[in-house]
Chains A and B, each alone.
Chain A
Amino acid sequence: MKSVIDIKDLSTKELEEIIAVAEDIIENPEKYAHKCDGKKLATLFFEPSTRTRLSFEAAMYELGGHVLSMSDAMSSSASKGESVADTAKTVSCYADIIAMRHPKEGAPLVAAMNASVPVINAGDGGHNHPTQTLADLLTIHREKGRFDNLTVGLCGDLKFGRTVHSLINALIRYKGIKFVLISPDELKVPSYVKNEIKDCGLEYVQTKDLEEFMPQLDILYMTRVQRERFFNEEDYLRLKDSYILTPEKLATAKEDLSIMHPLPRVNEISVAVDDDKRACYFKQVLNGKYMRMALILKLLEVK
């Protein structure tokens, strides 16, 4: 029995297997419609994230399974002082697999250590969100057909943005990846992440200038600058509009650039970009569901 708490819990081989299954689901959805008949997914959300919860629930329904939703997790067990460990043990009695979101970093790991069924981390504070990375990887694979020899621009909040760190962690497993790290000084990639890139013998450039590097990019991954990461409103307001992607800025970009964003966006990508054929962020949402389906199948060991 395996849980997925961190993208690092999946080997490169496992990642590629999950991607292959997701691509097969897209081609042959009917083949998978009853794979999880009689199985139950429990969604334990200790902080609201409707979009992630819906994605997990849609994934399970499309596999023919059922969903037990503890949507009132915040108001019930936690407020009665029940520990994450006890909740995990209790829910293991009802469900075959658990998806947990929690505001405290490491809570899903505690659940995995105590549950008797697999646990998927659906986001723990600013720490890990592995199924977002799975959605990103499937999107890159479907748009580019490969993971190697790509110039990947990451733009916005690269300091606190967990999706960025875990995407980097997944991509450094491949050859010929070049990272362009675009952020204001206050929101630069932490040095341990840069060291991971260097240790894999890969290149990166750090810049404040999105436009200068635009023509080189195969992928542009935009992120939002989150209010809750700042101690004062002034800093937030000053930095939040640092990079706004507009059709004008895309003028010099490659024809086959893929524009990605983990969503929800605030205003980092102008709505005018949505009709550009290079915009992939809504496809990313759909890909997230397919990857969650493939991950559930993998963890439930359904063939």
Chain B
Amino acid sequence: MNIDSIKNGFVIDHIEAGKGMEVYSLLALDALDCSVAIIKNASSRKMGKKDIIKIDAKIDLDMDILGYVSPTATVDVIEDGKLCEKKKMTLPEKLINVIFCKNPRCITTTEQELPNIFKLTNRELHEYRCAYCEAKASK
């Protein structure tokens, strides 16, 4: 499957090499019926190696998750076989139910129905902290 074979969908390009599977699982792409391709270790002028994911459907893509897992990623939006938009990712300010707090003293460990909320506390260091207990997210 190459880009031309996608009619309406996305090409997630410039994913940090090795992060493709993590993006695939966190975006729950395994649940899709459409065709999805993961390309690992594609060669890249800019990055040396990169991963690429192609999705042949207009799904509701969670840019926050994508930005969190691989802020280097870009998203090509394909409509009628043509590239109609290119989106750049940034680290999201807030993550809800993407990562989970591992601090045993955190309220989220006893009240499981609470949403796990993490806030970006240092953009340079990619540091996220739990909104409840302020424990650092472990990668």
Contacts and interface: CB of A to CB of B under 8 A. Distances in A.
A79 to B, nearest CB: 12
Interface string A80-97: 000111000000000000
Interface in B77-110: 103, 105-110
A106 B133 contact: yes
Contacts of B110: 104
B101 to A, nearest CB: 9
Contact of A105 (B103, B111, B114): B103
B109 to A, nearest CB: 8
A110 interface: yes
B131 A105 contact: no
B33 interface: no
Contact of B132 (A103, A110, A126): A110
B23 interface: no
A122 to B, nearest CB: 15
6 contacts: A105-B132, A105-B134, A105-B135, A106-B108, A107-B107, A125-B133
A208 to B, nearest CB: 27
Contact of A84 (B106, B111, B135): B111
Contacts of A103: 105
Contacts of B133: 105-106, 125, 127
B132 A83 contact: no
Given A109-B131, A127-B133, A127-B134, A83 B111 contact: yes
Nearest to A104: B107
Interface residues of A, number: 15
A110 B105 contact: no
How extensive is the interface on chain B, given as a class? 10 to 19
Contacts of B131: 106, 109
A174 B108 CA distance: 35
A125 B111 contact: no
A104 B114 contact: no
Given A104-B105, A104-B106, A104-B107, 9 more contacts: A83-B113, A85-B111, A105-B105, A105-B135, A106-B131, A107-B107, A109-B131, A124-B107, A127-B134
B130 interface: yes
A84 B107 contact: yes
A178 interface: no
Contacts of A106: 106-108, 130-133
Contacts of A83: 111, 113
A224 interface: no
Interface string B108-139: 11110110000000000000001111110000
A66 interface: no
Nearest to A126: B105
A164 to B, nearest CB: 15
Contact of B111 (A110, A124, A126): A110
Interface in A117-150: 124-127
B106 A105 contact: yes
Nearest to A83: B111
